[in-house]
Amino acid sequence: MESLHARGARLFKFVDRTFNLNIKSSLRILQFFLDKLEAAPNDPVFAHFELVPDHLPEALKESIVKFPPGSLQFEIGIQSFNPEVQTLVSRRQNDAKAEENIRWLMTHSSAHLHVDLIAGLPGEDVASFARGFDRLVGLGPHEIQFGILKRLRGTPIIRHTETYKLVFDPYPPYTILATDRIDFAEMQRLVRFSRYWDLVANSGRFGHTLPMILGDSPFARFMRFADWLYGETDATHRIALHRLAGLVSQWLCLDGYDEATVTAVVARDYAGQGRRTPEEKAAVREQYLAAPQRQARHMET
């Protein structure tokens, strides 16, 4: 790590999914970055780690709170909140503790949180996934990574193929196409939901508008929006930002919101950013020099 830093590396991503299980090693690694941040605050580093969600001891918390905004990101794999599904995919997880830890990170730290759910797992239907999605939205992570199950070669998911009628695309990346609980058409709706969620929610471009879209039933309302958006565009890619902003406004008005209110909120997210001078934009970016662009947008909201 020291050698990489000396050669100019400033963005470090760790792919060990059990990073926070060996606390002694975790603390040494975190301290390395804290020392770099203290020694050169104008030449900051950015560190990305994957965490086991239900394991966050006090010693680790004490280090995490020392990181300034724009320097630390955690990817947290929930996959499913359904205990039966967790058992089928050999996942031991204390959901209550995982929720407690995510709330603590959102409340007491400046870490940017990516938390993932996976659609298409054996034994999970759309209703179960929706409950998990709404539960996660309620925790307020910066981004919810809505994944679609993929069959990695050599992984034990294959043992459930016959029992749960798992049908995978025969070509890489071997994405799930249907299960005994979710047929092909419904799976495609989830795929579109995932894509539009990334464009609207995870992009950080609609931070003030998103709560209006989600209301008090996040999954159901965003699915309605996704179905409508697909009907209007027949596309999930190459939707220009200005067009997307117009479509979001149109849908909110159709959903019953006052046009003036919608225009003001969407403008705050979209047009308002466009009115910043180059100097103002540079000043905002300067605050989060090391952070990836999308994370910086979330912090600007």
| Tens of each residue's pLDDT in the chain, 301 residues | 999 999 999 999 998 888 888 999 999 999 999 999 999 999 999 999 999 999 999 999 999 999 999 999 999 999 999 999 999 999 999 999 999 999 999 999 999 999 999 999 999 999 999 999 999 999 999 999 999 999 987 778 889 999 999 999 999 999 999 999 999 999 999 999 999 999 999 999 999 999 999 999 999 999 999 999 999 999 999 999 999 999 999 999 999 999 999 999 999 887 545 445 555 555 445 555 666 766 766 666 5
Q: How far is Cα 87 from Cα 129, in angstroms, rounded to an integer?
A: 15
Q: How far is Cα 150 from Cα 119, in angstroms, rounded to an integer?
A: 10
Q: What is the pLDDT of residue 168?
A: 96
**In terms of Cα–Cα distance, which of 68, 175, 181, 168 is closest to 125?**
181
Q: How far is Cα 114 from Cα 220, in angstroms, rounded to an integer?
A: 21
Give the number of other CB atoms < 10 A from CB of residue 131: 14
pTM listed for this prediction: 0.91
Delineate the domains of the chain, giving CATH numbers in brackets. 1-157 (3.80.30.20), 183-301 (no CATH)
Q: What is the pLDDT of residue 274?
A: 46
Q: What is the pLDDT of residue 146?
A: 97
End-to-end CA distance of the chain: 32
Beta strands in the chain (DSSP E): 11-13, 46-51, 72-79, 112-119, 143-148, 167-168, 176-178
Q: What is the pLDDT of residue 21?
A: 87
Q: What is the pLDDT of residue 284?
A: 47
